[in-house]
Structure 1
Amino acid sequence: MTHFAPARGSSPTEIQAAVDAVLAEATLEEKVGMMSGRGFFQAFLEDDRVWGARPYRAGGGIERLGLPPLWFTDGPRGVARGSSTCFPCTMARGATFDPDLEHRIGQAMGVEIRAQGCDLSGAVCVNLLRHPAWGRAQETYGEDSWHLGVMGAALGTGIQAHNVVATVKHFALNSMENARFKVDVRVDERTLHEIYLPHFKHCLDEGVASVMSAYNKVNGEYCGQNRHLLTNVLRGEWGFSGFVHSDWVFGVHQPYGAAAGLDIENPEPRVFGAKLVAAVESGTVEPQVIDVACQRILSTQFRFAGAEDPLPEYGPELVACEAHVALALEAAEKSAVLLENDGTLPFSRARVARLAVLGKLAALENTGDLGSSRVRAPHVITPLQGLERHMGEGAVLTADEDDLDQARAVATQADTVVVVVGYTAKEEGEYIPGDISLGQEGDAAADGRAGAPAEPRGGDRIDLTLPADQIALIEAAAASGKPVVVVIVAGSAVLVEGWREQANAILQTFYSGMEGGTALARLLFGERSPSGRLPFTVARRAEDYPFFDRDATEINYGYWHGYAKFEAEGVEPRYPFGHGLSYAGFGYRALTARLSGDRIEATVAVRNEGTVAAEEVVQLYVEYPGGVKPRAAKQLRAFQRVGLLPGETRIVRLSIASDDLRYRDAATRRWVLERGEHRLIIARSATEEVLSVGMTL
């Protein structure tokens, strides 16, 4: 039997020859077989419906020719296989504004993916946060397209460093959860290309090799069979040469999806397979469509399988190893955002001998939703455990919202109070309807339908505020007269009106991963200075966000969202995009900017004016001339995290491509640079300008 399995060290010429040989040898049925996953439903049942119990076949592979398939694993917050490292959720990592850290996390994921028998990862989610009620907000990086693209590319290329194919998802306009299978998102040309697509293109331009289509419709057609998105834009305009695969179950509805540009249906051939073979044989789908899809699949697969590995071996001892757990801790420390602080933080042991830790969430292993992104870490340090370990035996008192009198009494006995509030997978996360399974834990028959209806879970948030019993707990803590620090656990924005004045400090930790409790203790007691920055805008009123209907069958995604919307409407947010306090203060001076070829090169001096080592996130926004309407007044176009010792000054260099300042001309479908005065703004947030300089382009 001839074997076509790719060999390490293959040259591009050898890879192309191998691809051509497979296409010449394979039958139509075998080629179409490469265009879908296989065996998932049976495996899922055999594994007692545990998602990620084994690698999932996700396209490619011909047994007769000795050609291996692609093996898929999910995991925006770690590898959804075995007992892997659980990093803070993607939104938390977005708050780090640290692409170097994200690239290192991607590398760690790549190692653990390889060590567990997979070579295709669904970890890179860059869907734009249009509204904080979106249930899967925790799986993306935030509301700003530039920030999304930079962070997503860092993760994807990190994963691919270990010859795992990374896929960027969900293409496109998937920013609501409950209605994702039915909703038709209507969007105009400029909004589509300026707001909802650039971050995908950024990831692909940086080398991310695969794309996962979304469930929803865009302008009347499902994304998995949307020719405009998958062929006209992705292949035609952007020049993408990798493969596109569907989301998991119900990701394509008609065989013509192949002709529209979908290369693989996952995880089973519900629509492709025999139906696609019949469509080719009847003449409704051209044979060339099949060959082109297989060319994309094989070329990508062989390129990764033929590259030399950075490590000689990928053994099981690398999964959740000490270095990766330390990386999870670093991410948890860097992601926490200090929203408010009257000087109560940091704690000192001299002033805080007894600490009250209140709230059910303090003792809960709460690393995020229980859908496809779930990671089963070997351990999870809860907030309570982290603080107990830090303070020692007998120094921590506890109570929760079920007994407010006890909570008030416990708070009175302590020197300071920490109240842990927020959400769990019940309130937000991937929406799992009661009658189907998408590969998550739950009852499922072999066709994806449930054997018996189960209670739906996750989904889009109904309310942007805290539950009433948690607010009552904060009030009880404040009634003790002791300083109160509120810790928010959530995937995106939480409205704080009505209780914030009763808190001396507010810290948002998101879903902080397996070492979150350790990080929390270090942050509260000043061993680390908080350095996260909000990757979204926190409003004063829910009405200040765009319209959101979690049960919509059709919705218009207009041009305005996020900090651009707040600025355009003259609405003051509670906390702006990019906001985050520190235990140090930072000074800026000597901003310079010059045009070098097709790039703007800027420098600024940043000084730590505090008494502790800390990290600052330098944010560079560009304000446009203002003649093009609609258009954001300014947009983030560069950022850099910098660590500084007390009194230390560093020169930070920031670079912007002039192409990234263009707008989309709807009539010509071309990108145009608006001529005139552009202002470069160094800012601490989207609303706090520090320095600026003008430049005519």
Structure 2
Amino acid sequence: MKYRDLIKEMTLEEKASLMSGKDFWTTQNIDRLGISSMFLADGPHGIRKQAIASDKLGLNAGIPATCFPTAATVANSWNVELGEKIGEYLGQEAVAQKVNVLLGPGVNMKRNPLCGRNFEYFSEDPYLAGKMAAGYIRGVQSHGISACVKHFAVNNQEERRMAIDTIVDERTLREIYLTAFEIAVQEGKTKTVMTSYNKLNGTYTNENMHLMQEILRKEWDFNGVVVTDWGGSNDRIAGLLAGNELEMPTTAGETDREIIQAIQTGKIKEEVLDECVDRLLELIFTTEEAYKKIHVDFDVDRHHRVAQKAAEESIVLLKNDGNILPLKFGKKVAVIGDFAKDARYQGAGSSIVNPTILDHTLNCFEESGIVSIGFEAGFERYGKKNAEKVKSACLLAEKADVVLLYIGLDEVTEAEGLDRQNMKIPENQIDLLDAVFSVNPNIVAILSCGSAVEMPWIGKVRGLVHGYLGGQAGARSILRVLSGDVNPSGKLAETFPLQYEDTPSLLHFSGKEVTVEYRESIFIGYRYYDTANVDVLFPFGFGLSYTTFEYSDIQIAKDGVTFKLTNSGRVAGMEIPQLYVRCKSDAIFRPNMELKGFVKIFINAGQTKTVTIPFDDKTFRYFNVITNQWEIEEAEYEIIIGASSADIRLTGILAVEGTGAPIPYNKIKLPSYYSGKVNNVDLEEFEYLLGDKVPISTWDRTQPLGYNDTIAQCQYAKGRIARLSYHTIVFAHWFLRKIGKRDTANLIMMSIYHMPFRGIARMTGGVVNMPMLDGILMIANGHFFKGLNHVIKERKKMRKYRKSIKTVEIGSRQRYE
């Protein structure tokens, strides 16, 4: 241990105190030993450090910071160097705001298009997500502070995220859901990892020895700090044994006492605590070094320009019939859509950034050179139909050569803590599109949202530009693409299915009660659509340009592939060649092909460049459940170079030597997986793949409610007060949505409805402790007076204890002074 001597000077109480927060955002300090508090701040795409009340959850506005495009947006750039540059600027701002740990990036897979937090994650592909995350992490940590990759792991739904049990087979876990974390740890060298709320195959991730010790610590050799998601600690001792150093937020000393008692009774050895303290001290001391250097406030304008550059590279041109784009000089343009007036530029939840500057479309036209003849909102932002607005929009559209129609999803549709109800654009926006099309068919749609949507209306637009959530400079960036000042170079980091019913996880998303089963296994995103021959709207890796590119002269060697890339068009542009690999053997079930490399290259018109994409340790591997390790199957592999997963330009064959591992599966027992048609796998086949029985997925309504049951389950509680509370919450949610307070309604669902009872203690900063929670559960289970008396008694005991502790602390300070 690096800090053995310092740890020897600590009392058991002091060591235990470091294992949980001091308040909502800072860690505990020990002044007498020179140990300072750390500040942890949300920040996947911008610093969210609230200006007041660090002891509160964080619903107040943050200190102004640059709002960069969200991860889902930047992933479309396929530019690792750009991700690293964004990370550098995020790190600089974090230092300026005295933030030690920046809570991001998020690398959870986009298993299903409806996950409410998809806007905050990179991709459906673990290789792309991992490479982008590693770039972010290197950039952030170049300033001496820590990034924090999250949410570890298999957190792919928001509904019931604090209680759901994810059932997934080991190979799928390794190949799909852990690979991005592996790259973030081993290549990004992240100093901090945040565990997810959910269970993994029956055990909370924060306590899961297989995940936390066998994989993270031993296999990946991670020596950094593990922090819980806020309120994500279940059993503090089990978490400590698994190697979780830091529980956030504070529990006002309650779990510290659990740790002390566990050591005093021999339940755990003090050496376990010492090792956790040592790793935490390393994080504290190394990150605070950043503040000993001379720093000035960051250059707001320069950071805004970087945010603009990031947005420009991430915009995806999806349709351009008749080369309607870029807009020809002198064309009269009608601007229609509420999102043109008030840009949709980020998601909702813990990642909300208070931007330093915010570009809006209507304020940026003059510099763009585009001639606007006027603006009409056209629709109500939150879905209400308004015939007058549609009529006004059509009157304007009739006078224009081209209509720029700004549509998308609103801020409360894509939000942390909630999953989307469908993949549709709101009906009132489609009604507007239909009406405008009837008077002017020259429509260019500008789409603003952080995830995939259905587009049955796509035949009515000639151009389609997807800006995703482009951050504070996104609106100006889109105009630069429309005008031709920027040649679009983004490509989709996720597949857009024709309809939601085509998704492989349709029947098993989201888990509504106890479990969610990942029956589709490794076949998510393009891995499924391509293997099962399901048509899609836009394939993975797709994106148009204002120029064209030709691929030629492929050369394959043992260590990589080389080819020539020519810009055969008339304007300079950037192209993203993608390396896919297909195993020619059918002994082990696999996707038709998998992404194993990519590069982004700028090429002038008429220029040819030689491109090399190297192979790495992940190019040919698969996870073998018999040997319990990564293996390589001896076979011929097709080396594929594509402009997207569906636009294959070059191919070749390479014979690869294998590791000689046994074939892990009986093909006869896994027909769905060997065909790739996994949208309706039966229970018996899934259990064979899993190697275990699938747990019961429904609540046991006969049992009393416990710590890990949610407030939603009060609907069948024995206590009338609990059932009344449930119906009150449901009514409040309905009423708030009815009167237009959808953000508040969402907050009720996220922070109350789906909250486990233990969250009442874990998220209230010590206002309610676990003994008081026992009383609350008695009330919920039908013992009102007994429970109420218990709550009152335990409340008095807690206040008396804290008063005695405060007296002791004052005495201790006086002695040291």
TM over 0.5: yes
User: Larger deviation: 237-246 or 654-663?
Assistant: 654-663
1:281 equivalent in structure 2: 264
CA distance, structure 2, for counterparts of residue 417 and residue 638 of structure 1? 39
Question: Which residue, out of 413, 418, 422, partners 1:463?
Answer: 422
1:269 equivalent in structure 2: 251
- The structure with the largest helix share of the pair is 2
1:198 equivalenced with 2:166 (yes/no): no
User: Larger deviation: 87-96 or 361-370?
Assistant: 361-370
Answer yes or no: is the 8 Å Cα contact 1:76–1:139 preserved in 2: yes
CA distance, structure 1, for counterparts of residue 258 and residue 22 of structure 2? 15
CA distance, structure 1, for counterparts of residue 409 and residue 394 of structure 2? 22
Counterpart secondary structure, 2:181:
helix
CA distance, structure 1, for counterparts of residue 314 and residue 514 of structure 2? 35
1:302 equivalent in structure 2: 285
**TM-score for both structures, normalised by structure 2:** 0.75
Larger Rg belongs to:
2
CA distance, structure 2, for counterparts of residue 64 and residue 644 of structure 1? 59
- After superposition, residues 218-617 of structure 1 pair within 5 angstroms as 218-269=200-251, 272-305=255-288, 313-316=294-297, 318=298, 321-352=300-331, 354-387=332-365, 389-391=367-369, 395-401=373-379, 402=386, 403-431=389-417, 459-497=418-456, 499-545=457-503, 546-547=505-506, 548-549=509-510, 551-558=512-519, 559=521, 560-595=523-558, 600-617=559-576
User: Larger deviation: 276-285 or 583-592?
Assistant: 276-285
CA distance, structure 1, for counterparts of residue 570 and residue 544 of structure 2? 15
Cα displacement string for residues 206-258 of structure 1 (whole angstroms, at most 9, x for unaligned residues):
11111100001110111122222111211122221111010012333443211
Counterpart secondary structure, 1:501:
helix
CA distance, structure 2, for counterparts of residue 148 and residue 100 of structure 1? 14
2:26 equivalent in structure 1: 57
Shift of 1:66: 1.4
Shift of 1:154: 0.4
CA distance, structure 2, for counterparts of residue 518 and residue 307 of structure 1? 34
Answer yes or no: is the 8 Å Cα contact 2:403–2:440 preserved in 1: no
Shift of 1:482: 4.0
Shift of 1:467: 0.7
User: Larger deviation: 328-337 or 69-78?
Assistant: 69-78
CA distance, structure 2, for counterparts of residue 394 and residue 591 of structure 1? 47
Cα displacement string for residues 528-564 of structure 1 (whole angstroms, at most 9, x for unaligned residues):
1111100000001211111222634311123121101
CA distance, structure 2, for counterparts of residue 193 and residue 614 of structure 1? 37
Cα displacement string for residues 504-524 of structure 1 (whole angstroms, at most 9, x for unaligned residues):
011111111111111011000
CA distance, structure 1, for counterparts of residue 539 and residue 122 of structure 2? 16
Counterpart secondary structure, 1:88:
coil
Answer yes or no: is the 8 Å Cα contact 1:173–1:218 preserved in 2: yes
Count residues with an aligned counterpart.
628
Counterpart secondary structure, 1:107:
helix
**TM-score for both structures, normalised by structure 1:** 0.87
Cα displacement string for residues 638-692 of structure 1 (whole angstroms, at most 9, x for unaligned residues):
1111111111111111111144421111012011101111111110111111001
Counterpart secondary structure, 1:515:
helix
Q: 1:364 to 1:543 in 2, by over 3 A?
A: same
1:7 equivalent in structure 2: none
Counterpart secondary structure, 1:664:
strand
1:672 equivalent in structure 2: 631
Question: Which residue, out of 47, 58, 77, partners 1:79?
Answer: 47
1:690 equivalent in structure 2: 649
User: Larger deviation: 471-480 or 460-469?
Assistant: 471-480
Cα displacement string for residues 330-364 of structure 1 (whole angstroms, at most 9, x for unaligned residues):
11111111111103432445341x31111112212
Answer yes or no: is the 8 Å Cα contact 1:585–1:608 preserved in 2: yes
Answer yes or no: is the 8 Å Cα contact 2:365–2:372 preserved in 1: no
CA distance, structure 1, for counterparts of residue 74 and residue 582 of structure 2? 27
1:642 equivalenced with 2:598 (yes/no): no
Shift of 1:306: 5.2
Answer yes or no: is the 8 Å Cα contact 2:108–2:155 preserved in 1: yes
Counterpart secondary structure, 1:67:
coil
Counterpart secondary structure, 2:39:
strand
CA distance, structure 2, for counterparts of residue 462 and residue 383 of structure 1? 29
Shift of 1:570: 1.1
Answer yes or no: is the 8 Å Cα contact 1:150–1:202 preserved in 2: yes
Answer yes or no: is the 8 Å Cα contact 2:374–2:396 preserved in 1: no
Shift of 1:395: 3.4
Query: What amino acid is the match of 1:64?
Result: R
User: What residue ranges of structure 2 are gaps of 5+ in the alignment?
Assistant: 50-62, 380-385, 657-817
User: What residue ranges of structure 1 are gaps of 5+ in the alignment?
Assistant: 1-15, 41-55, 432-458
Shift of 1:303: 4.0
Answer yes or no: is the 8 Å Cα contact 2:317–2:466 preserved in 1: yes
1:9 equivalent in structure 2: none
Query: What amino acid is the match of 2:121?
Result: T
2:725 equivalent in structure 1: none
Counterpart secondary structure, 1:272:
helix
CA distance, structure 1, for counterparts of residue 217 and residue 122 of structure 2? 25
Cα RMSD for the two superposed structures: 1.8
Counterpart secondary structure, 2:433:
helix
CA distance, structure 2, for counterparts of residue 642 and residue 58 of structure 1? 43
- The structure with the largest strand share of the pair is 1
Question: Which residue, out of 2, 10, 25, partners 2:9?
Answer: 25
2:612 equivalent in structure 1: 653
Query: What amino acid is the match of 2:40?
Result: F
2:750 equivalent in structure 1: none
Q: 1:257 to 1:588 in 2, by over 3 A?
A: same
Shift of 1:138: 0.7
CA distance, structure 2, for counterparts of residue 584 and residue 392 of structure 1? 21
- After superposition, residues 85-124 of structure 1 pair within 5 angstroms as 85-124=66-105
Q: 1:247 to 1:573 in 2, by over 3 A?
A: same
Counterpart secondary structure, 1:324:
helix
Shift of 1:375: 0.8
CA distance, structure 1, for counterparts of residue 537 and residue 564 of structure 2? 29
Shift of 1:304: 4.4
Shift of 1:366: 2.3
| Larger RCO (CA under 8 A, 6+ residues apart) | 1
Counterpart secondary structure, 2:472:
coil
